[in-house]
């Protein structure tokens, strides 16, 4: 997964489709802008659209009744929001929150279902994408049990970096604390440590990745494992 793309950003799930199917899909999508912090759906909401992010990216969040939460998936231009439709279910399994502003292509749910029935290639690819998302979920469940916050934060910054297509992006303490399921003071400490090691610069929500290789070393194994899954199945 490349983090600095010189070409215009495309959605890779659409990009890998055979040309005729890709054209059909693109014709049936409309371009939209995703705005930072907007909740696209809550758990249990009916799915009206699927989203194929191009420039923006979306967090999948498992939330508890007391508002505590944990990010269990991140969807950028390598993925799509709305895989439940692929599984034959028309409601969203969790909260979807825009974590990075930017462009996306969206398609009405009914049209998407039709295309899925029509094209075995689309179904095969999206089944595989569901597998990758499931693997990401499983990994996150174990990662939160065992890995120290600093390594988890590094992993999370790398995943964001991949999807932000820029070395600089905006995050708030509150967001980071919700994503990682820890207190803000924990985020402050972990981010401070990554900054002290000159891997990132972090000031009032502005993150600049200074040393990508160093950040990869600071991350737990989980970052590389998820990418390996994606590359194996979808490249």
Query: Binding of other proteins at residue 145 (CB under 8 A)?
Result: yes
**How many of the chain's residues bind other proteins (CB under 8 A)?**
37
Pick the binder of other proteins from 4, 87, 148, 174 (CB under 8 A).
Answer: 87
Q: Is 213 exposed, middle or buried (0-12, 13-18, 19+ CB in 10 A)?
A: exposed
Token pair 């040309």 is found at 19
- Under DSSP, is residue 219 helix (H, G, I), strand (E, B) or coil? coil
Residues listed for the chain: 235
Decide if residue 127 touches other proteins (CB under 8 A). yes
Draw the binding track, 147-176, toward other proteins (x: CB under 8 A; -: no contact).
------------------------------
* Contact present, 79 and 60 (Cβ < 8 Å): no
Per-residue contact flags (x/-) with other proteins for residues 46 to 85, judged by CB under 8 A: --------------x-xxxx--xxx-x-----------x-
Q: Which of residues 135 and 227 has its CB atom nearest to other proteins in the complex?
A: 135
State the minimum distance, in angstroms, from the CB of residue 104 to other proteins. 22
Among residues 165, 176, 183, 162, which one has the least CA distance to residue 204?
176
Which DSSP letter does residue 93 get? S
38 part of the interface to other proteins, by CB under 8 A: no
Distance CA 190, CA 184 (A): 10
In the complex, the smallest distance separating the C-beta of residue 134 from other proteins, rounded to whole angstroms, is 6
Q: Is 93 in the site for other proteins (CB under 8 A)?
A: yes
Assess 231 for contact with other proteins (CB under 8 A). no
Distance CA 98, CA 105 (A): 14
CB of 184 to other proteins, least distance (A): 15
Choose among 151, 125, 124, 127: nearest CA to 139: 151
From 152, 150, 139, 162, select the one nearest 209 (Cα to Cα): 162
Among 17, 21, 26, 135, binds other proteins (CB under 8 A): 135
- Give 54 or 139: the residue with its C-beta nearer to other proteins: 139
Query: Cα–Cα distance between 179 and 175 in angstroms, integer?
Result: 6
The label of the residue with tokens 């174990």 reads 142
Residues that bind other proteins (CB under 8 A): 60, 62-65, 68-70, 72, 84, 86-89, 93-94, 124, 127-128, 130-131, 133-135, 137-142, 144-146, 181, 221, 229, 233
């Amino acid at each position: 997964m490349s983090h600095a793309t010189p070409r215009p950003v495309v959605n890779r799930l659409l990009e890998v489709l055979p040309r005729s199917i890709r054209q059909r899909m693109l014709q049936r999508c409309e371009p939209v802008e995703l705005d930072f912090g907007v909740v696209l759906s809550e758990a249990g909401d009916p799915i009206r659209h699927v989203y194929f992010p191009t420039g923006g990216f979306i967090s999948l969040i498992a939330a508890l009744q007391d508002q505590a939460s944990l990010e269990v998936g991140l969807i950028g231009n390598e993925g799509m929001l709305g895989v439940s439709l692929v599984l034959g279910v028309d409601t969203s399994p969790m909260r979807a929150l825009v974590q990075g502003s930017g462009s996306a292509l969206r398609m009405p749910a009914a049209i998407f279902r039709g295309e899925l029935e029509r094209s075995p290639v689309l179904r095969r690819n999206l089944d595989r994408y569901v597998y990758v998302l499931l693997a990401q979920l499983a990994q996150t469940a174990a990662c939160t049990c065992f890995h120290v916050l600093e390594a988890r934060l590094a992993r999370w910054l790398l995943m964001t970096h991949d999807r932000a297509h820029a070395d600089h992006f905006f995050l708030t303490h509150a967001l980071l604390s919700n994503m990682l399921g820890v207190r803000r003071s924990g985020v402050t400490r972990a981010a401070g440590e990554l900054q002290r090691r000159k891997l990132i610069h972090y000031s009032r929500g502005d993150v600049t990745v200074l040393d990508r290789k160093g950040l990869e070393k600071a991350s737990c194994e989980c970052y590389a494992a998820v990418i390996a899954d994606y590359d194996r199945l979808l490249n």
